[in-house]
Amino acid sequence: MKNDIATFQQFFPAKAVPYCFQLWKKYQFNFKITRPRNSKLGDYSFRRETGHQITVNGNLNAYAFTITYIHEVAHLVTFTHYKRRKEPHGKEWKMMFKKIFLPILNLEVFPESILLPLTQYLENPSASTQGCIPLSNALRTFDEPTHAESRIPLTEVEEGKDFVINGRSFIKGELRRTRFLCTEKATGKRYVVAANALVELL
């Protein structure tokens, strides 16, 4: 990615741009904005040959993009401090995530509808915001309209009913914390699917 603040202005809320740009300058990582990925919103990696790299999906709205970016920067900083001796989303990462987030955790950056569930989420952040239904739902209201507006959250599908997600057909099963245990119709294999994942009914 070009070391150009104008690029940051395209993806972050205006009031978050200076801080997020300074994080990039401070930690000197390769920052890539990628195509949409169904499996993840972003990631962090380190290789001796190429150094630190952070990627974030380019289709995220500005608020989700910022949260994902800080999430991955926290991984970088945690790795720098502890190397590989700690759990990826353990207490050290949770503490670092919240610490790095605090300078922009305010109404100048986030609307109140996001700030409230975001503040609660940061008290004990999970591996993905998609596992926090109040925050995920708040973020979704700022997504651009798509052709898939007919999709509904999996929570609204009755247990035992068929649905489609990412082109694959499933039967909805029982709830396990924040995910449903579902059976793929074509293979009979069972998968957990986020409770608030957007799906289409068959």
pTM of the model: 0.76
pLDDT score for 145: 65
pLDDT digits (tens, 9 = 90+) for 72-109: 999 999 999 887 666 778 999 999 999 999 999 999 99
The set of residues, in sequence order, having a beta carbon less than 8 Å from that of 139 and lying 6+ positions away, is: 61, 63, 64, 67, 114, 129
- Which pLDDT band holds residue 170 (cuts at 50, 70, 90)? very high
Give me the domains of the chain, ranges plus CATH numbers.
Answer: 5-140 (3.30.2010), 152-201 (2.30.30.30)
Residue 1 amino acid letter = M
